[in-house]
A and B are shown apart, each in its own frame.
Chain A
Amino acid sequence: MSNTTENPGAAEKVVDEIDKFAELPDAPPKKTIKLSWTGKLAAAIVAAWVVVAFIGPWIAPFHEAEFILDDSFVPAGGCAEMLDELYDIEEWTPEAITKYCSDADVTLFLGSDYLGRDTFSRILWGARTTIGISFVATLFAYFMGITLGIGAAVSGGYIDMVLSRVNESILSLPSIMLGLIVVAALGSSIPILIATASVIYATSVFRIARALGQDIMVQDFVEAAHARGEGLWWIITREVLPNAAMPLLTDFGLRLVFVILFISSLSFLGLGVQPPTADWGSMVRENMAGLGYGSYASIWPAIAIGTLTISINLIVDDISAKSGGSLAKKMV
């Protein structure tokens, strides 16, 4: 069996022969992920929000629930020398801001909200709530979805059928409806929000993980492992999961966006995060009335949500394979 010693030159000899009319590798080595400039910008924005989510409460000038001004909907740049010294200002015109705030103790960078709280501070605090809840919920959704989805794909038969049927039924409900039902039944608290969002979105993860799992399960290399006599655990962890990792990772980004949208929408309806905790969705809602008075207090948190979710989407778009169209460009 040890032909290494018998003809040591065998390998080199054949390599020579192959080299003459060399076969090329079928595909170049795996490339590292490269982002376009929009992708890089988006990544920077997401990174910035993640940092804010961690340190927001420490860099915020005020506490999220602290009443700073007696006036609601003070525009950006409005100011106070704290609550005890009130200005009697009819209207926060730009002139008024220059007049009163040029040497004030405290300036409200983005103005005040409907209760006279600092919008800027609340956005910084809210980052933690919005991103934190959504991220944790997505993680749970992934854990449940992948475990059950890959499990269903691998085991097949009745287990697969029952899991898929139940899953399809839950999927066939609009997520916001499910959210409303749960909130109606159990009330709204952060653990309940996380649990609800993770169960609802676990269904879509289940569907993707199962489809991926089924695709991979019928690949020859899985059958080769099966034929070798490998157990289920090996096949799942070594053969299926590594090949499902990349598509699932990009899907994680999309799913996170959906969870953020879901949580914010519930909050916006007044059924999500409850006051006085700052949350971007509820901030938009609380300050909607201010729009009529020309206040941007509901626009700032809206921009916060938009920049975060659009950026995540941009990154996902950048990473996932470019969708077709190359052939379409050949049309005349």
Chain B
Amino acid sequence: MALLEVENLKIEARKDDGTPIPIVKGVSFEVKAGEVVALIGESGSGKTTISLASLAYTKPGLEFCGGEVRLHGEDLLTMEPLKQRDLRGQKVAYLAQSAAATFNPAITIGEQVTESAVLHGILTQEEATKRAEELYVALELPDPDRLGSRYPHQVSGGQLQRLMAAMALVGKPDLLVLDEPTTALDVTTQIEVLKAFKKVIREQGSAAIYVTHDLAVVAQIADHIVVLYSGEVQEQGPVDQIINNPSHDYTRRLMAAVRPTPTAGMSDDDDHGHGRAEAAIAARGITAGYGGIVDGEPAITILRDINVEVERGDVVGVIGESGCGKSTLARVMAGLLPSARGEIVLNGKTLEPALEDRDRDELRQVQFVFQMADTALNPRQYIGDILGRPVEFYLGLKGEDKRRRVLELLDMVELPPAFADRYPAELSGGQKQRINLARALAGNPEVLLCDEVTSALDSIVGANVIKLLTNLRNKTGVSFVFISHDLSTVGSFADKIVVLYAGRVVEQGPTDQVLSPPYHPYTRLLITSVPELRVGWLEDTMKTREAAAGIARGVEITAVGCPFFNRCPIAIPGTCQLETPPVRMHGDGHEIACHHSLDEVEHSEAETQKVLHGYEKAIVDDDSAIKA
């Protein structure tokens, strides 16, 4: 008998007038002891709802209306409420997507971690505290003996995510439910958390349900995959079978939307005929930040001495972890945040730093596309008005001409004309993002500044938006500054890549060159951190010392020296933290800012599987042993 058996589970939502809307439509699967089952699907697939059923819980507004969820053979859905309560936290434990929101800000970490086990009478407070500290050590959390007395806001996001694992594991549950536990994290942090989860799940021997939309992550951690769409199981099977030999259409589409690992030559960089050796927009010596400016130094500096050129018709990808200043760069270009020093040059003409001082035609030529289409579109305006305003404002079109242009824009972003009469709330996320793009295109701009436009979208929808952007570039010859934390998206689409770290350009150049050696150590960390759609990638990548060194710390903005020095595996003590690294040229327009000569950098990359120290080594050995 399997540990958990879900049979023909049905869950419904209810409208105000009482009509039921089916959310989960008869789902069946099972979880065997010690096995990790992944529920994979996009938003609206019902994956979270199904996973919560194993705690006999539905979100408010939903209700169970059929089927059984049996744990150790006993149906949870028909159980007494008090018995359901005893089950939660004791037999089945839940890890939520956002640890930052899930930890109670007013209670110490220690109390929250041990609470469940103590309340259920599994452990005494002392035992629970002791076990929690053991788990902190196992999860590689810093300062394990004092961590319990701290408050959630005093530790970082990645640490909180691991603390939630500790919270779930203290009571030694039979089943763990992990709901997108790494989705909100940066790729570099994601590896670290994934590794910790994988290790403790194995050590504790508990079974797990892993909910995610990310196939590459699933490949690392799951034994069995259940593919969901719209509340129904499309396909299920062992991980190897699903990854290597998907049989269902939808699974194949999901696979197709997974972007390949960033490597040289991945972008379809045929000459699209617009490229000319003239910069459409360029940032020269930009320093920018927040707070009062004294001598060209803002109170809080975000960007320091940035030089970036965007050639006409090119796509320039800007990449880096969160907090590196990617969005700030776009905001400076748009004039939303006036720079403290340096200048923005549009078609050879220097622009005023603040957008208030730019004239309407200059504004028209540089358009900013916001990340969240949800908030970037005024909910009280029709789509037709949202698109019509810039048409009128920049092109002076009115009446029938304006209407025609609006329809033309809708057609450009591949949406039907009827959408002009809808409100944003009546559109899906992907459709809203298309409107967001159409609005930016309304005035025939020269440059589009796209800030993480696909980050909030499901993978298939995001892939379609990227396809659309490629078409638009080819059709209109507009230049793009494409900001993303996702190297594989950028790699598949950009002509040129700018790698930002802590407000500075550490490497930039043509895509193929940036994605091939020699790499800046940070670029290399990013490349090795992007999950690959293959089983065993996590173990492989953990053997590289970039990963080992890079996951240890977060982004810190420094005024002097190389900002990456505290995470760099080849840092030169005494030099890197004190002196600004020189910019080294490698071939045509490829720059790397590093104290090492490019030969040294390249040489160091050859020894990827080098000695790891202490604990890291132990896990890697451990994992290889299990594999063998």
Query: Do the two chains touch directly in the complex (Cβ atoms below 8 Å apart)?
Result: yes
Listed from nearest, the 5 A-B pairs whose CB atoms lie closest are: A326-B60, A23-B428, A14-B414, A242-B380, A220-B376
How many angstroms between the C-alpha atoms of A221 and B335 in the bound complex? 16
What are the residues of chain A within 8 A of B61 when measuring CB–CB? 326
Cβ-closest chain A residue relative to B414: A14
Task: Decide yes or no whether A251 CB sits under 8 A from chain B.
Answer: no
In the complex, the answer to whether B368 meets A227 with C-beta atoms within 8 Å is yes
Apart from A26-B427, A227-B367, A227-B368, 8 more pairs, CB < 8 Å: A1-B408, A3-B412, A11-B410, A23-B428, A30-B423, A221-B377, A224-B439, A239-B378
How many angstroms between the C-alpha atoms of A24 and B458 in the bound complex? 12
How many angstroms between the C-alpha atoms of A239 and B375 in the bound complex? 12
Task: Decide yes or no whether A15 CB sits under 8 A from chain B.
Answer: yes
- Please pick, from B84, B250, B425, B444, the residue contacting A27 in the complex, using a CB distance under 8 A: B425
How many angstroms between the C-alpha atoms of A10 and B472 in the bound complex? 13
In the complex, the answer to whether A4 meets B360 with C-beta atoms within 8 Å is no
Task: Decide yes or no whether B415 CB sits under 8 A from chain A.
Answer: yes
In the complex, the answer to whether A11 meets B411 with C-beta atoms within 8 Å is yes
Interface of chain A residues 171 through 210 with chain B (CB within 8 A): none
In the complex, the answer to whether A26 meets B250 with C-beta atoms within 8 Å is no
What are the residues of chain B within 8 A of A329 when measuring CB–CB? 60
Contact with B along A213-238 (1 / 0, CB 8 A): 00000011101101111100000001
- Please pick, from A2, A14, A28, A228, the residue contacting B408 in the complex, using a CB distance under 8 A: A2
Task: Decide yes or no whether A34 CB sits under 8 A from chain B.
Answer: yes
Interface of chain B residues 51 through 92 with chain A (CB within 8 A): 57, 60-61, 81-82, 84-85
Q: List 28 A-B contacts (CB under 8 A).
A: A1-B444, A2-B408, A3-B408, A4-B411, A11-B410, A11-B415, A12-B416, A15-B415, A15-B416, A18-B430, A23-B429, A23-B430, A23-B461, A26-B374, A26-B427, A29-B425, A29-B426, A30-B425, A219-B375, A220-B376, A221-B376, A224-B370, A227-B363, A228-B393, A229-B355, A238-B378, A327-B60, A332-B81
Task: Decide yes or no whether A158 CB sits under 8 A from chain B.
Answer: no
Task: Decide yes or no whether A25 CB sits under 8 A from chain B.
Answer: yes
In the complex, the answer to whether B374 meets A229 with C-beta atoms within 8 Å is no
In the complex, the answer to whether A243 meets B379 with C-beta atoms within 8 Å is yes
In the complex, the answer to whether A21 meets B250 with C-beta atoms within 8 Å is yes
- Please pick, from B334, B414, B428, the residue contacting A25 in the complex, using a CB distance under 8 A: B428
A245 to chain B, nearest CB (A): 8
How many angstroms between the C-alpha atoms of A220 and B370 in the bound complex? 7
- Please pick, from A11, A14, A221, A332, the residue contacting B84 in the complex, using a CB distance under 8 A: A332
- Please pick, from A10, A24, A31, A229, the residue contacting B363 in the complex, using a CB distance under 8 A: A229
Interface of chain B residues 324 through 360 with chain A (CB within 8 A): 334-336, 355, 358, 360
In the complex, the answer to whether A23 meets B375 with C-beta atoms within 8 Å is no
How many angstroms between the C-alpha atoms of A84 and B335 in the bound complex? 85
- Please pick, from B57, B85, B336, B377, the residue contacting A223 in the complex, using a CB distance under 8 A: B336
What are the residues of chain B within 8 A of A326 when measuring CB–CB? 60-61
Task: Decide yes or no whether B417 CB sits under 8 A from chain A.
Answer: yes
Cβ-closest chain A residue relative to B375: A220
In the complex, the answer to whether A21 meets B411 with C-beta atoms within 8 Å is no
Task: Decide yes or no whether A330 CB sits under 8 A from chain B.
Answer: yes
Cβ-closest chain A residue relative to B432: A26
Interface of chain A residues 18 through 44 with chain B (CB within 8 A): 18, 21, 23-31, 34
In the complex, the answer to whether A21 meets B425 with C-beta atoms within 8 Å is no
In the complex, the answer to whether A228 meets B407 with C-beta atoms within 8 Å is no
In the complex, the answer to whether A23 meets B407 with C-beta atoms within 8 Å is no
How many angstroms between the C-alpha atoms of A28 and B423 in the bound complex? 10
In the complex, the answer to whether A23 meets B431 with C-beta atoms within 8 Å is yes
In the complex, the answer to whether B57 meets A11 with C-beta atoms within 8 Å is no
- Please pick, from B16, B414, B428, B429, the residue contacting A34 in the complex, using a CB distance under 8 A: B16
Task: Decide yes or no whether B44 CB sits under 8 A from chain A.
Answer: yes
In the complex, the answer to whether B411 meets A227 with C-beta atoms within 8 Å is no
What are the residues of chain B within 8 A of A229 when measuring CB–CB? 355, 358, 360, 363, 393
In the complex, the answer to whether B375 meets A221 with C-beta atoms within 8 Å is yes
What are the residues of chain A within 8 A of B586 when measuring CB–CB? none
How many angstroms between the C-alpha atoms of A4 and B475 in the bound complex? 12
Known A-B contacts A24-B44, A27-B425, A29-B425; A230 and B393 likewise in contact (beta carbons under 8 Å): yes
What are the residues of chain B within 8 A of A26 when measuring CB–CB? 374, 425, 427-429, 432
Known A-B contacts A21-B229, A25-B428, A227-B355; A3 and B475 likewise in contact (beta carbons under 8 Å): yes
B252 to chain A, nearest CB (A): 11
In the complex, the answer to whether B411 meets A3 with C-beta atoms within 8 Å is yes
Main secondary structure of the interface of B (DSSP, over half): helix
In the complex, the answer to whether B16 meets A332 with C-beta atoms within 8 Å is no
What are the residues of chain B within 8 A of A15 when measuring CB–CB? 414-416
What are the residues of chain A within 8 A of B363 when measuring CB–CB? 227-229
What are the residues of chain A within 8 A of B469 when measuring CB–CB? none
A: number of interface residues (CB 8 Å): 40
How many angstroms between the C-alpha atoms of A221 and B435 in the bound complex? 12
A177 to chain B, nearest CB (A): 36
How many angstroms between the C-alpha atoms of A3 and B167 in the bound complex? 57
Interface of chain A residues 275 through 332 with chain B (CB within 8 A): 326-327, 329-330, 332
Task: Decide yes or no whether B14 CB sits under 8 A from chain A.
Answer: no
Task: Decide yes or no whether B604 CB sits under 8 A from chain A.
Answer: no
Known A-B contacts A228-B393, A242-B380, A332-B85; A21 and B460 likewise in contact (beta carbons under 8 Å): yes
A185 to chain B, nearest CB (A): 44
In the complex, the answer to whether A29 meets B423 with C-beta atoms within 8 Å is yes
Task: Decide yes or no whether B476 CB sits under 8 A from chain A.
Answer: yes
In the complex, the answer to whether A11 meets B60 with C-beta atoms within 8 Å is no
Task: Decide yes or no whether B372 CB sits under 8 A from chain A.
Answer: yes
How many angstroms between the C-alpha atoms of A224 and B377 in the bound complex? 8
B609 to chain A, nearest CB (A): 41
What are the residues of chain B within 8 A of A221 when measuring CB–CB? 375-378
How many angstroms between the C-alpha atoms of A224 and B363 in the bound complex? 12
- Please pick, from A1, A34, A220, the residue contacting B372 in the complex, using a CB distance under 8 A: A220
Known A-B contacts A26-B428, A27-B425; A224 and B368 likewise in contact (beta carbons under 8 Å): yes
Cβ-closest chain B residue relative to A8: B411
How many angstroms between the C-alpha atoms of A14 and B253 in the bound complex? 15
What are the residues of chain A within 8 A of B253 when measuring CB–CB? 21
A234 to chain B, nearest CB (A): 9
Task: Decide yes or no whether B509 CB sits under 8 A from chain A.
Answer: no
B70 to chain A, nearest CB (A): 20
How many angstroms between the C-alpha atoms of A219 and B380 in the bound complex? 13
Contact with A along B369-397 (1 / 0, CB 8 A): 01110111111110000000110011000
How many angstroms between the C-alpha atoms of A29 and B424 in the bound complex? 9
A9 to chain B, nearest CB (A): 10
In the complex, the answer to whether A330 meets B368 with C-beta atoms within 8 Å is no
What are the residues of chain B within 8 A of A219 when measuring CB–CB? 375
How many angstroms between the C-alpha atoms of A14 and B335 in the bound complex? 35
A18, A226, A230, A330 pick with most chain B CB within 10 angstroms = A18
In the complex, the answer to whether B60 meets A25 with C-beta atoms within 8 Å is no
How many angstroms between the C-alpha atoms of A28 and B425 in the bound complex? 7
What are the residues of chain B within 8 A of A230 when measuring CB–CB? 393
In the complex, the answer to whether B417 meets A11 with C-beta atoms within 8 Å is yes
Cβ-closest chain B residue relative to A222: B378
How many angstroms between the C-alpha atoms of A10 and B355 in the bound complex? 36
How many angstroms between the C-alpha atoms of A21 and B232 in the bound complex? 12
What are the residues of chain A within 8 A of B375 when measuring CB–CB? 219-221
How many angstroms between the C-alpha atoms of A229 and B439 in the bound complex? 14
A212 to chain B, nearest CB (A): 13
What are the residues of chain A within 8 A of B428 when measuring CB–CB? 23-26
How many angstroms between the C-alpha atoms of A27 and B475 in the bound complex? 33
In the complex, the answer to whether A330 meets B60 with C-beta atoms within 8 Å is yes
In the complex, the answer to whether A4 meets B407 with C-beta atoms within 8 Å is yes
How many angstroms between the C-alpha atoms of A254 and B260 in the bound complex? 57
Contact with B along A135-154 (1 / 0, CB 8 A): 00000000000000000000
What are the residues of chain A within 8 A of B360 when measuring CB–CB? 229
A319 to chain B, nearest CB (A): 14
What are the residues of chain A within 8 A of B389 when measuring CB–CB? 228
A132 to chain B, nearest CB (A): 32
Cβ-closest chain B residue relative to A330: B60
Cβ-closest chain A residue relative to B61: A326
How many angstroms between the C-alpha atoms of A252 and B472 in the bound complex? 48
In the complex, the answer to whether B425 meets A25 with C-beta atoms within 8 Å is yes
How many angstroms between the C-alpha atoms of A11 and B378 in the bound complex? 24
